[in-house]
Amino acid sequence: MGSLRLISLFALAFSLAISVTLGRPNIILVMTDDQGYGDLGTHGNDEIDTPNLDRFASESLGMDRFYVNPLCAPTRASLMTGRYYLRTGILHTSRGAAKMHGDEVTIAELLKGSGYRTGLFGKWHLGENYPMRPQDQGFEETLIHKSGGIGQTPDTDANYFNPILWRNGDLVKADGYCTDLFFDAAIQFLRSDSDKPFFIYVAPNVPHTPLD
């Protein structure tokens, strides 16, 4: 699969795995939703089984000194832009306060401009209309749910199974569990073109409620 940089980002935890590479590395960024630092086995939790995330951590450079906003959309805005969230136009998670300025430059835009294929699979939460959509912000391939969670928009129900999603801007009725759908789409994108490096951002809605 070529060189790989694996970035596993949990709600309050951040780890980085870097393989030795000569050229442009592939990058995978995984961000779970509402998962705390102490929710992982690698951080000492012996009540919750997190074997895959623990494996990510075992292959990673751990970072335990960081700043993060306690709210969802502001954190995602800072993650995508590298800027303090207030400068991006993101103030909160709802009521018109989760709309990122269209002229913000995201990591996806920078990497796309450097010849990377870019894909987002899961949660965006930085705006749903032009020019705030992920496809306007550097992502070539997208499979997302809208708003801050599956079922938060009035035309969908709060069900993680067979959810209504949006693929490249078009509504689709998906078949399967949401996390599987997002990761399967990411894997398909990863395998679709081996000649160019890729940046894949996987942001599942779990373990955010509802706990299906």
Question: What count of other Cβ atoms lies within 10 Å of the Cβ of residue 9?
Answer: 22
Active site residues: 72, 125
Residues 123-137 as b or e (16 or more Cβ within 10 Å = b) = bbbbbbeeebbbbbb
The CA-atom distances, in angstroms, between 80 and each of 83, 101, 121, 163, 166 are 8, 12, 14, 25, 20
**Measured distance CA(136)–CA(129) in Å, rounded:** 9
For residue 179, the SS3 value is helix
